Amino acid sequence: MLHRFIVAGLAAVGLVAASSSAPAQTLDKIKKNGVLIVGTKADYKPFGFRDTSGAIVGFEPDLARDVADRLHVKLQLEPVVSSNRMQFLQQGKIDLMIATMNTTDERKKIVGIVSPDYYASGVNIFVNKKAGLKSWEQLKGQKVCAIQGAWYNKPIAEKYGADIVAFKGTTEADSALQQGSCIGWVYDDTFFVDRLNDPKFAAYEMPLQSILVQPWGLAVKLDELNGPWGQFMAQVVKDWHKTGRLIELEKKWKIPPSQFLQKMHHEAK
């Protein structure tokens, strides 16, 4: 009997040790290999896009670089899209995800979304001026381009009666819009801001008031959120807000000032 108690006790200790060490695996791996792999967008200018040399640059790649510098490791950027970014994290293809992802309760069940959030955006629609769109209610029965995996596709379809046609990436959605396959393209308002200043899209507009404003969160694996890796990233984000680093990057990439960042910076100070 005593022997069984001892064996059971040792097994319990082993399980506790294993569970307590599990959250440290990614951070240990990064330090051991000397490389941080971050999933970012490569089709979402200016937050993450390819420059003329093919390198991924932008607001979020700069954040990834800052994390790598803090860890004194090399940075490897892995392009992701809305439909695969969480899966890449779950499968261990990336160590960290900084990819324009809105924080939602459903996503918190799948990946470890770090608190505090680092940015925020609303939802809007990019349409040809000829459409004469004046209200969200006008989308009823209309085909609307969207991106697979966007959390707001369903509520927009349900509330406004839009016929959502979802594409894997922004290139496909953009082509469908310009070919007239849909009345407009529903997506993050932050994505369309850059296009509104591009002469190439002079025939288009973002005529409606943004809706469904939600913060953005970077993410680690779900079981690492409260471990060393998740805690490290939480402190990094807090520091970004306190020092104004996020506001600096906003200016660098010519992104209109965000009320969310101003508020977070003020509170962090």
CATH number at residue 128: 3.40.190.10
Q: Are residues 86 and 151 in the same domain?
A: no
Report the predicted TM-score, pTM, of the whole model to 2 decimal places. Answer: 0.81
Q: What is the pLDDT of residue 10?
A: 46
Assess whether pLDDT exceeds 80 at residue 103: yes
At 45, the pLDDT band (50, 70, 90 cuts) reads: very high
Q: Tokens 């809305």, residue?
A: 82
Q: Are residues 190 and 131 in the same domain?
A: yes
Q: Are residues 101 and 231 in the same domain?
A: yes
pLDDT tens-digit map of 134-182:
999 999 999 999 999 999 999 999 999 999 999 999 999 999 999 999 9
Q: Could you say which of 214, 230, 260 is where a domain stops?
A: 214
The b/e string for 85-114 (b: 16+ C-beta within 10 A; e otherwise) is: bbebbeeeebbbbbbbbbbeeebeeebbbb
Total count of domains within the chain: 2
Residue 101 has what DSSP assignment?
Answer: P
Q: Are residues 253 and 199 in the same domain?
A: no
pLDDT tens-digit map of 225-243:
999 999 999 999 999 999 9
What is the three-class DSSP state of 176?
helix
Question: For the chain, what is the largest distance between any 2 Cα atoms, rounded to a whole number of angstroms?
Answer: 83
Q: For the chain, first and last CA: distance in Å?
A: 60
Selection from 63, 109, 118 nearest residue 90 by Cα: 109
Does residue 12 lie in a domain region?
no
Q: What does the pLDDT average to over 173-197?
A: 93
Q: What is the pLDDT of residue 17?
A: 41
Q: What is the pLDDT of residue 193?
A: 86
Determine the structural domain holding residue 31 and report its residue range.
23-118+217-268
At 197, the pLDDT band (50, 70, 90 cuts) reads: confident
Q: Could you say which of 195, 214, 233 is where a domain stops?
A: 214
Does residue 199 lie in a domain region?
yes
Q: What is the pLDDT of residue 5?
A: 44
Does residue 232 lie in a domain region?
yes
Q: Are residues 102 and 234 in the same domain?
A: yes
Does residue 13 lie in a domain region?
no
Does residue 4 lie in a domain region?
no
Vertex 177 angle, CA 120 and 54, to 5°: 65
Q: What does the pLDDT average to over 112-137?
A: 96
Contact present, 126 and 195 (Cβ < 8 Å): yes
Question: What are 146's strand-pairing partners?
Answer: 166
Q: Are residues 205 and 80 in the same domain?
A: no
Phi-psi group of 58: left, alpha or beta (phi > 0 → left; psi -120 to 50 → alpha; rest → beta) = left
Contact present, 246 and 44 (Cβ < 8 Å): no
